[in-house]
């Protein structure tokens, strides 16, 4: 599906159907109000109505706010894809909502058909955006940037949705190498031998029972004279069986999504390089598969992390934090960054706290959390802060090691996981680090907003907005 922006009047564009957004107030004075009312169309949010004889698709919106536009656009693209129309045209409402329009069409129209032997044929080929505004250059720049971010989000979704027999740690390494080649990024790979040399005992333990070797991936985007240096860390559990603390069968389905943090970080650096941001970005990924076998790590094991901190294992299904502990330490030891952000499908407890749509953000800096709250509002991603406190930190106490990998009580699980990671953040980075738990927001089995079944690409739009405005 091709999406084009034209410096033209909408009437001068030749397309099969016109898409028009209407509020209930606009409907009341519309030239086609009687026909639309006869069809039962009330311009309610996300409702649609075809007037085939006039070649118009009406989509209802509560307001001209970006969130309403994005959601209504999703309804429109679904209706268009189900029709036999080959092209559509619509007017750009304003520069502020243009990104929402693009996200609605690109992300709402996304499909992952790699494993379909006979994917459904889609007739829709072209969508034309019309604008002859005096500030067309500004609109053109917004269109360009929004398309980059939307495509990077789809890139992320594709990796998340790829089946685990194909997307294991070593194939993630190859994918990262290809991205580095395509986008002219720096690329460094640490395989198990190098991981042993770096004394990354926690990460190596998690992947020990897999036939696929674990790897640390480091991609770098380095523009001239960057404003800031940002380190992004992603949890790349290409599959999580739970290890010897085996997940129930029903909980194991969808665990290909446990790599969504790593996939998101790849999408973020892809977007940053294509947007040509004047911010230096480093992506650090721990690519690991948590499986079972005779050499699997066990509850009661004591692991020695890269930092030298010893970790008592109480549950092998709390594996992501073990991988991140070593990758976070490596990232800090090898690069002096201004900010450090990690993304991980870390805890089901985050979904209990915030629901399945919202990313949990944790850290010590109120300013950073506020900045990301604004980026979330502008990008359309839902985030909410979960507070650290010293009483929950006590639950990670171990009698035989420096720290336990799970809390002694089943309360505040998302926060205690964040506090575990905080143990591995250097003192000078405490106020320059945030942890994003995307366990709920990274994958969905029910469509919502511009997210269809499968990976959502959580974090890519959020981080792209933050980096553009840093």
Q: What is the CA radius of gyration of the chain?
A: 24
List the chain residues with pLDDT less than 70: none
* Catalytic residue of the set 89, 151, 321, 432: 321
pLDDT of residue 133: 84
pLDDT of residue 343: 98
Q: Which two tokens stand for residue 381?
A: 């991603």
Beta carbons within 8 Å of 53's beta carbon, 6+ residues apart: none
Q: In what order do the strands lie in the sheet with 215-221?
A: 186-190, 215-221, 280-290, 229-240, 339-344, 433-437, 359-363, 383-385
* Catalytic residue of the set 64, 247, 393, 423: 247
The answer to whether residue 34 is catalytic is no
Task: Kindly state the helix (H) or strand (E) to which residue 443 belongs, with its residue range.
Answer: strand 443-444
pLDDT of residue 408: 97
pTM of the model: 0.97
What b/e sequence results for 161-191 when a residue is b if at least 16 CB atoms lie within 10 Å of its CB, and e otherwise?
A: bbebeebbbbbbbebbeebbeeeebebebbe
Q: Which of 229, 185, 222 is nearest to 336 (CA)?
A: 229
Reported as a single tens digit per residue, the pLDDT across 143-190 is 999 999 999 999 999 999 999 999 999 999 999 999 999 999 999 999
Domains within the chain, CATH numbers bracketed: 2-133 (3.40.220.10), 163-468 (3.40.630.10)
The answer to whether residue 430 is catalytic is no
Q: Report CA torsion sign: 230, 433, 168, 148.
A: negative
Reported as a single tens digit per residue, the pLDDT across 295-352 is 999 999 999 999 999 999 999 999 999 999 999 999 999 999 999 999 999 999 999 9
With vertex at residue 72, the alpha carbon angle to CA 66 and CA 74, rounded to the nearest 5 degrees, is: 105
């Amino acid at each position: 599906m091709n999406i084009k922006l034209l410096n033209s009047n909408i009437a001068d564009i030749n397309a099969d159907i016109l898409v028009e957004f209407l509020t209930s107030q606009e409907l009341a004075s519309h030239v086609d109000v009687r026909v639309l009312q006869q069809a039962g169309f009330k311009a309610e949010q996300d409702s649609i109505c075809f007037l085939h004889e006039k070649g118009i698709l009406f989509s209802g919106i509560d307001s001209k706010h970006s969130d309403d536009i994005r959601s209504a656009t999703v309804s429109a693209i679904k209706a268009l894809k189900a029709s036999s129309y080959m092209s559509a045209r619509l007017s750009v409402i304003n520069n502020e909502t243009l990104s929402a329009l693009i996200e609605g069409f690109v992300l709402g129209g996304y499909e992952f058909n790699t494993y379909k032997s006979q994917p459904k044929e889609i007739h829709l080929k072209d969508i034309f955006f019309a604008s002859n505004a005096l500030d067309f250059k500004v609109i053109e720049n917004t269109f360009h940037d929004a398309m980059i971010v939307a495509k990077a989000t789809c890139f992320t979704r594709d990796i998340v949705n790829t089946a685990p027999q194909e997307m294991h740690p070593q194939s993630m390494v190859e994918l990262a190498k290809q991205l580095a080649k395509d986008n002219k990024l720096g690329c460094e790979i640490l395989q198990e031998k190098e991981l042993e040399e770096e004394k990354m005992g926690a990460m190596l333990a998690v992947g020990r029972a897999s036939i696929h070797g674990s790897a640390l991936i480091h991609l770098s985007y380095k523009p001239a004279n960057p404003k800031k240096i940002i380190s992004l860390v992603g949890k790349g559990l290409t599959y999580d069986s739970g290890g010897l603390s085996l997940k129930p069968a029903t909980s194991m389905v969808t665990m290909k999504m446990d790599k969504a943090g790593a996939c998101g970080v790849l999408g973020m650096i892809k977007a940053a390089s294509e947007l040509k941001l004047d911010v230096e970005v480093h992506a650090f990924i721990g690519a690991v598969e948590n499986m079972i076998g005779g050499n699997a790590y066990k509850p009661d094991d004591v692991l020695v992390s890269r930092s030298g901190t010893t970790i008592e294992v109480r549950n092998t299904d709390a594996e992501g934090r073990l991988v991140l502990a070593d990758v976070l330490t490596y990232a800090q030891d090898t690069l002096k960054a201004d900010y450090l952000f990690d993304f991980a499908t870390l805890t089901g407890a985050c979904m209990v706290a915030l629901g399945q749509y919202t990313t949990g953000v944790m850290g010590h800096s109120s300013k950073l959390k506020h900045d990301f709250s604004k980026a979330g509002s502008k990008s359309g991603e839902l985030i909410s802060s979960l507070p650290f406190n010293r009483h929950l930190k006590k639950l990670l106490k171990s009698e035989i090691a420096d720290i336990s990998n799970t809390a002694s009580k089943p309360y505040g699980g998302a926060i205690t996981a964040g506090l575990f990671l905080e143990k591995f953040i250097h003192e000078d980075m405490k106020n320059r680090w945030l942890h994003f738990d995307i366990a709920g927001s990274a994958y969905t089995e029910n469509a919502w907003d511009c997210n269809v079944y499968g990976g959502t690409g959580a974090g890519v739009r959020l981080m792209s907005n933050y980096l553009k405005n840093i």
